Amino acid sequence: MGSILVFGASGQLGQCLAHVARERNTPGLVFLPEEQANILNPDGLQALFAEYKPSYVINCAAYTAVDKAEDEVEIARKVNRDGVENLSRLCAEYGTTLLHISTDFVFAGTGNQPLVETDETAPISVYGLTKLEGEQVISEYTQQYFILRTSWLYSEYANNFVKTMLKLGRDRDELRVIWDQLGTPTYAIDLAGCILTIIETQSQQYGIYHYSNEGVTSWYDFAAAIFELSQTKVKTTAIRTAEYPTKATRPAYSVMDKTKAKAQLGVAIPHWRESLKVCISRLPA
């Protein structure tokens, strides 16, 4: 097996991949510095592919500022679609398998049944739309790809909901948290493990997959679990989405069905509370 190039290596998932690769002693991963690994620079990418001739590319690079994307449409589209096109073209040219991270935001979130990979996409935000465009451009250029849609990502690394809640819980007496958006948190360490399993097993079950932890919760109940498991004393009040307006609209229901990932990729997926316990145990007190 040749090299495994990681784009977006300094982000949350990139750092989790480095963590899990160390734990598993997985060889071949190259965590590229941002200045060298700009997915919007075709010439630079061509040079990287020529140098490394990678067997796999893991694309963790994305524009993820959901609310800012409503005003920065072109920037979001450049990163989430055009950059993905640049990678896809080169993966096809070099026979490289692309592993790309997408999102539950490709769905409208108006249903009440767990979403399967073939359900109709209907993004309701610029972020969701540009991520869907990235998915679509991949299949135009290559057939050797895995698209992993995930949701509510958190870990010990970078900024995320868990770390934000813990900080606010220490600094404030009371917090108001939305209860009418339902989904599933994803421990980025678990997602990194899934990605490395695909590579280690040399799976050729290409296509789109859903990957989050098991179970379903609201942001309010997620926050309550964070405070319970970390023994943080703070009053939490459940509020409706309408009471906390944001620039971008979020899906109200984005629970994803993981049957396909478990069956075809052979991954075991923990319940979100079990993974949250692990994460909190690894965070500094």
Determine whether domain 4-160+186-214+254-270 maps to CATH 3.30.70.100: no
Sign, CA torsion 110/111/117/119: negative
Pairing verdict, β 217-218 and 182-183: antiparallel
pLDDT tens profile 8-47: 999 999 999 999 999 999 999 999 998 899 999 999 999 9
Whether the predicted pLDDT of 284 surpasses 90: no
Please give the mean pLDDT across all residues of the chain. 97
Nearest alpha-carbon partner for 14 in 25, 3, 30, 1: 30
Task: State yes or no: pLDDT of 172 exceeds 90.
Answer: yes
Domain ranges of the chain: 4-160+186-214+254-270
Q: For residue range 150-163, list pLDDT tens digits in order.
A: 999 999 999 999 99
Dihedral pair phi/psi, residue 157, rounded to 5°: -105, 150
Nearest Cα neighbor of 10 from 33, 43, 28, 30 is 33
Determine the average pLDDT of the residues in 201-221: 98
- Of residues 33 and 280, more confidence is placed in 280
Catalytic residue positions?
127
